[in-house]
Amino acid sequence: MRTSRLVAVLPLAFACIANSHADPLRADHPLIGTWTWEVPDAKCSELYRIRKDGTALITSGDEVAETTFTISAKPSAKGFYKWVDRVAKDNGKKDCAGETMRVGQELTNYVNIHPSGQALLLCEREDINTCVGPLTRQKETDN
């Protein structure tokens, strides 16, 4: 597995179409919520706030990005949701991998959500051998 390459593009996986509208997710989509990932060997973590309106706020290291995205309503026969993201805003600082994103940058990834709904893997292809994670669901607070 090319973990270093995936770590560099992981925040991109949560970026979507700049200069376009976000497509809302169905109210019970299992991806909605807050997810965290402790990046191996980087002493760094990433936080993803996935909103039902089809936007996300991602922090990775010093980077803060806002994105819009589309994701399939249901998983494929292989159990993966197709996720297409584009960066809408970015503070230009470095993420956990030392990389920066550009507004408008687009990436397609595949998400495999654990049956418990409490963890997910983020993958380059519909192949478990191309994944990073797990990202774990965080308890939502009213703050």
Structural domain includes residue 62: yes
Alpha-carbon distances, residue 11 vs 64, 77, 109, 141 (angstroms): 10, 26, 11, 23
CA distance 35 to 16: 18
Considering its fold, how many domains does the chain have in total?
A: 1
Overall average pLDDT of the 63-90 stretch: 94
- What confidence score (pLDDT) does residue 142 get? 52
Concatenated DSSP letters of 93-108: ---TTS----TT-EEE
Q: How confident is the model over 11-42, as pLDDT tens digits?
A: 444 433 333 456 788 889 999 999 999 988 87
Overall average pLDDT of the 117-133 stretch: 96
- The pTM of the full predicted model, rounded to 2 decimals, is 0.79
Structural domain includes residue 142: no
Phi and psi dihedrals of 23, rounded to 5? -95, 120
Structural domain includes residue 29: yes
Q: Which residues contact 71 (CB under 8 A, 6 or more apart)?
A: 25, 29, 31, 81, 82, 83, 84, 111
For residue 53, give its domain range. Answer: 3-137
- What confidence score (pLDDT) does residue 61 get? 94
- What confidence score (pLDDT) does residue 24 get? 84
Is the sign of the CA dihedral 24, 89, 59, 70 positive or negative? positive
Structural domain includes residue 143: no
Residue 25 DSSP symbol:
P
The CATH number for 104's domain is: 2.40.128
Q: Which residues contact 41 (CB under 8 A, 6 or more apart)?
A: none
